[in-house]
């Protein structure tokens, strides 16, 4: 295939290139002075809390050498917690403590470390070894997210997260990121995690992408990634949609996780979200963004400056719905209804209840280390 025809076909599909993203979206919709809001996780979190967006609860901030010694007071009520550099990038400098044992702390890897080790880590964070520019940083101590076991079937280890691209408050494209053995438990596509497209309307997964290729199964578990119903999908969508009001940035990637107890939580925002989400969804980002821009223009002509978050979400969910997923969702709903009916009949027949076994909607009890 000639490069020219590749070019043309990509254009026809509305695939967004880096140049287009930078010039037409990032530079155009994201004002520079708003960047600190997404670059500093503490600022993002505070802002999110003020706006009623669910985030992992914050236990405390360490912003001076003096406070390092006090970190034990910050976590005295919690057995497990996470230490993050406020301006870290790419997951560097994140320390996850899963448990405590006789004054020692157990990391997710099972290693026992002392309080001094943690204090040393904190002082490293403060001196800026994890922040990109190398300038002084703050450390954030927060709730440890325990991923909902729904993902255990299609995920290897680590915490899978959900990325939704939001243009001017309209969620345009969603992806589930699953860590792999290669990515070392990090949900970062560059490091070898897989991305799985998600239907905006139903929250049912599509095919995936791994190292720029298209895949149907998880490389470690070999389970098919397609057709999984993500729980609380409406919650994720509304969370992402409302993040526009939070920052004022017009083109962001919202990263969220599903905690087994707290439900959908917003983790962080990204002002330059990557483009591989297009391969995961087999859809052009530019094509969808253009539809959203047309809608915004249409509303502006009608005199509506900014549509309500629920309306924006509804627009995207109807406009970008995947018919296959809709059919699947309808079929599953029908199955569930039949099952329920059957159960009711069984109950009516005063039979003892056994586990219904609906794979996708039932939460299994946590088993400690995930």
Partner 1 sequence: MKGVKLHVRVLAIVLMLIGAASTAWQIFALNIPVSADTEEPVWVIDTRISFTARPKNPIKVQMYLPPSWSKFITLDESFVARNYGVNIDDLEHNRTAVWSARRADGQQQLFYRLMLTQRSNTRFTNEEPGPQFRESPDLQGVEKVAVEALLKPIREHSADIETFIREAIKLINNTDNDNARLLLRNDYSQINKSRVLELLLSSAHIPVEQVHTVRLASGVSQSPELWMRSYNGQRWLYFNPETGSFGMPKDRIVWWTGSEPMVKVDGGHHLKVEINSTQQTVNSITLAQSIQEARDGNSWALSMYSLPLQSQQTFEIILMIPIGVMLILVLRNIIGIETLGTFTPVLIGLAFRETQVLWGIIMFSSISALGLGLRSYLEHLHLQLLSRLSVVLTFVVIVMALISVLGHQLGLDRGLSIALFPMVILTMSIERLSIVWEERGGLHSMKVGFGTLVAATLSHLMMSYSPWIYFVFTFPGILLVFMAFMLALGHYRGYRFSELLRFKALIKDGN
Sign of CA dihedral 319, 323, 325, 327: positive
- Minimum gap (Å) between residue 19 Cβ and partner 1: 6
Q: Does 19 bind partner 1 (CB under 8 A)?
A: yes
When the beta carbons of 11 and 363 are compared against partner 1, the nearer one is 11
Out of 99, 112, 113, 124, the residue judged to bind partner 1 by CB under 8 A: 124
Could you say whether residue 23 binds partner 1 (CB under 8 A)? Answer: yes
Q: Which residue number, 1 or 349, has a Cβ lying nearer to partner 1?
A: 1
Q: What share of the chain is helix, strand, coil (3-state, %, to 5)?
A: 40, 20, 40
Here's the x/- map for partner 1, 25-64, by CB under 8 A: it reads as: ---x------------------------------------
Q: In the β-sheet with 104-107, what is the strand arrangement from edge to edge?
A: 58-62, 139-142, 81-85, 95-101, 104-107, 112-113
**Which 3 state secondary structure label does DSSP give 175?**
strand
Six-digit token string for 202? 């139903």
Among 181, 190, 337, 359, interactor with partner 1 by CB under 8 A: 190
Stretch that binds partner 1, among 69-77, 94-102, 125-133, 242-250 (CB under 8 A): 125-133
Our CB check for partner 1 shows the closer of 12 and 331 to be 12
Q: Does 319 bind partner 1 (CB under 8 A)?
A: no
1 scored as a contact of partner 1 (CB under 8 A): yes
What sign does the dihedral 101-106-112-114 (CA atoms) show?
negative
Distance of alpha carbon 209 from alpha carbon 297, whole angstroms:
33
Query: Residue from 89, 304, 333, 351 that binds partner 1 (CB under 8 A)?
Result: 89
Nearer to partner 1, 18 or 351 (CB): 18
Longest CA–CA span in the chain (Å) reads 69
Cβ closest to partner 1, residue 10 vs residue 61: 10
Binding mask 207-226 for partner 1 (x = CB under 8 A): --x--xxx------------
In the chain, DSSP assigns E strands to 58-62, 81-85, 95-101, 104-107, 112-113, 139-142, 161-167, 170-178, 194-198, 205-210, 213-215, 251-259, 263-270
- R_g over Cα of the chain: 22
267/271 Cα distance (integer angstroms): 14
13 binds partner 1 (CB under 8 A): yes
Contact 238, 313 (CB under 8 A): yes
Nearer of residues 149 and 192 to partner 1, judged by Cβ: 192
Site for partner 1 in 134-173 (CB under 8 A): 134
Burial of 298 (0-12, 13-18, 19+ CB in 10 A): exposed
Q: Which of 10, 37, 43, 113 binds partner 1 (CB under 8 A)?
A: 10
166 strand-pairing partners: 171, 252
Task: Write out the residues near partner 1 by the rule CB under 8 A.
Answer: 1, 3, 6-7, 9-10, 13, 15, 17-20, 23-24, 28, 89-90, 92, 120, 124, 127-129, 134, 190-192, 209, 212-214, 278-279, 282
């Amino acid at each position: 295939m000639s490069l020219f025809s590749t070019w043309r076909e990509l254009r026809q599909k509305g695939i967004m290139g880096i140049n287009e993203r930078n010039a037409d979206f990032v530079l155009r919709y994201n004002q520079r002075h708003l960047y600190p809001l997404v670059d500093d996780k503490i600022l993002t979190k505070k802002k999110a809390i003020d706006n009623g967006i669910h985030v992992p609860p914050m236990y405390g901030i360490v912003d001076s050498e003096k406070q390092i010694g006090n970190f034990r007071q910050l976590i005295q009520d919690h057995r497990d917690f996470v230490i993050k550099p406020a301006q870290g990038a790419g997951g560097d400098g994140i320390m996850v403590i899963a448990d405590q044992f006789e004054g020692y702390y157990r990391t997710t890897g099972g290693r026992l470390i002392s309080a001094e080790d943690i204090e040393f880590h904190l002082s490293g964070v403060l001196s800026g070894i994890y922040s990109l520019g190398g300038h002084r940083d703050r450390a954030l101590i927060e709730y440890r997210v325990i991923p909902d076991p729904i993902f255990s079937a299609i995920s290897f280890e680590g915490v899978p997260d959900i990325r939704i691209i939001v243009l001017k408050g309209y969620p345009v494209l969603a992806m589930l990121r699953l860590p792999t053995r290669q990515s070392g438990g990090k949900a970062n596509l560059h490091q070898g995690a897989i991305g799985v497209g998600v239907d905006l309307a139903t929250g049912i997964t599509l095919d995936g992408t791994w190292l720029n290729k298209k895949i149907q199964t998880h490389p470690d578990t070999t389970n098919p990634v397609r057709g999984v119903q993500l729980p609380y999908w409406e919650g994720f969508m509304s969370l992402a949609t409302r993040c526009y009001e939070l920052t004022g940035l017009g083109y962001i990637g919202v990263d969220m996780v599903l905690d087994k107890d707290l439900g959908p939580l917003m983790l962080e925002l990204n002002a330059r979200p990557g483009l591989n989400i297009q391969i995961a969804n087999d859809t052009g980002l530019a094509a969808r963004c253009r539809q959203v821009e047309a809608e915004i223009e249409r509303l502006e002509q009608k005199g509506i400056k900014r549509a309500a978050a629920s309306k924006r979400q509804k627009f995207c969910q109807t406009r970008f719905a995947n018919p296959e997923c809709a059919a699947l969702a309808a079929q599953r709903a029908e199955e569930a209804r039949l099952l329920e009916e059957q159960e009711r009949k069984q109950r009516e027949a005063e039979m003892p209840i056994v586990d219904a076994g609906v794979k996708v909607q039932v939460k299994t009890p946590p088993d400690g280390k995930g």
